[in-house]
Amino acid sequence: MTTKAIVVEGGAMRGVFASGVLDAFLEQDYKPFDFAIGVSAGASNLIGYLTDYPHRSINVITKLATSKRFFDPARFVKGGDLIDVKWLFEESNRQYPVDEVKLFDGIPFFATTTNVDTGKADYYRITRHNFHHAMEATTALPIAYKHTPCFSGGCYTDGGVADSIPVREAYRLGARDITVVLSHPLEYAKSRVKTPWLMRKLFAEHPKMAEAMLQRADNYNESLAFIRNPPADAVIRVIAPPSEFHVQRLSRRQSVLIEGYEMGLIAGRNHLLDD
């Protein structure tokens, strides 16, 4: 029997598209997957999907992630966090508590993190014991979030640095039928960093992190190449935003976010019709 997986990309507020896709799946009780892997906002979106909690993600995005408590440029200028991912995670769970039995004892759920010492991706199976740490780590955008989460003998930052689209990890774990939900239109390609010297300066204390940031575009585009030309024994199904998707990494306008969510709903429903 073919092992099936779902992979959900991050992208901060661009993750609103995936929240729509996953809500469309919940409408039809579509859960054929043997495991799930999420990155950053993609991992956060999967929480609502895996616990059968429709609209959780869109509420978190439009009601909490747009608040000044989460995103505060003035706080950042004074030396604080630009985005407070720990607050967002804790407040999300307070306002929208999830069924922990479904989350921890259901479909295996992995979150992608970037190890600051190695610059490589570490993939954590989410459990009751590491839930808070791993979710903080996968969403801990470097520079924007000042606190580096440390647990299980390592220190981590946003999983998107080392592996934005962990489709190759899903394949390595045995999946041969992989559904990938992207945060950019399929024609997108990531550009290389234009100021490598600045990146090395910003991450002077963690040179492997600096290298990971510099290699990020290549890794991202290699994942896209894997998606477009999968191994002969694998099928990869892609759900990507349309070219008119206007949500940016830090978009906060409600109308733009809702439009992006509705694009995700449509794309998810169309995917099910074609499946």
Average pLDDT of the segment spanning 159-169:
97
Q: Where are the domains of the chain?
A: 4-274
- In the three-class reduction of DSSP (H, G, I as helix; E, B as strand; rest coil), residue 133 is classed as helix
Residue 250: what pLDDT? Answer: 86
Residue 275: what pLDDT? Answer: 73
What is the domain class of 4-274 according to CATH? alpha beta
Residue 196: what pLDDT? Answer: 86
Q: Is the pLDDT of residue 1 over 90?
A: no
Question: What tens digit of pLDDT does each residue of 82-139 get?
Answer: 999 999 999 999 999 999 999 999 999 999 999 999 999 999 999 999 999 999 999 9
Give the Å distances, CA to CA, from 85 to 35, 89, 175, 258: 25, 6, 30, 21
Question: What tens digit of pLDDT does each residue of 12-48 get?
Answer: 999 999 999 999 999 999 999 999 999 999 999 999 9
Give the Å distances, CA to CA, from 112 to 53, 162, 251: 22, 9, 23
Kindly state the helix (H) or strand (E) to which residue 238 belongs, with its residue range.
strand 235-239
Residue 5: what pLDDT? Answer: 98
Strands in 72-222 per DSSP E: 109-115, 121-125, 150-151, 154-158, 177-181
Nearest 5°: the CA angle 164, 212, 224 is 35
Buried b (16+ CB within 10 A) or exposed e, 108-120: bbbbbbbbbeebe
Q: How confident is the model at residue 55 (pLDDT cuts 50, 70, 90)?
A: very high
CA-wise closest residue to 48 among 61, 66, 63: 61
Task: For residues 31 and 233, give the distance between their C-alpha atoms in angstroms, rounded to a whole number.
Answer: 22
Residue 159: what pLDDT? Answer: 95
Q: Please answer whether residues 237 and 179 qualify as being in contact, where contact means their C-beta atoms are separated by less than 8 angstroms.
A: yes
- Please measure the distance between the N-terminal and C-terminal CA atoms of the chain and give it in whole angstroms: 18
What's the pTM value of the predicted model, to 2 decimals?
0.96
Task: For residues 1 and 79, give the distance between their C-alpha atoms in angstroms, rounded to a whole number.
Answer: 53
Most confident option among 79-83, 192-196, 255-259, 271-275: 255-259
Q: Is the pLDDT of residue 70 over 90?
A: yes
71 DSSP assignment: B
Catalytic residue among 81, 84, 122, 158: 158
Residue 197: what pLDDT? Answer: 87
Q: Known catalytic residue: 164? A: no
Catalytic residue among 19, 40, 57, 223: 40
AA letter at 58: I
Q: Known catalytic residue: 23? A: no
Residue 254: what pLDDT? Answer: 94
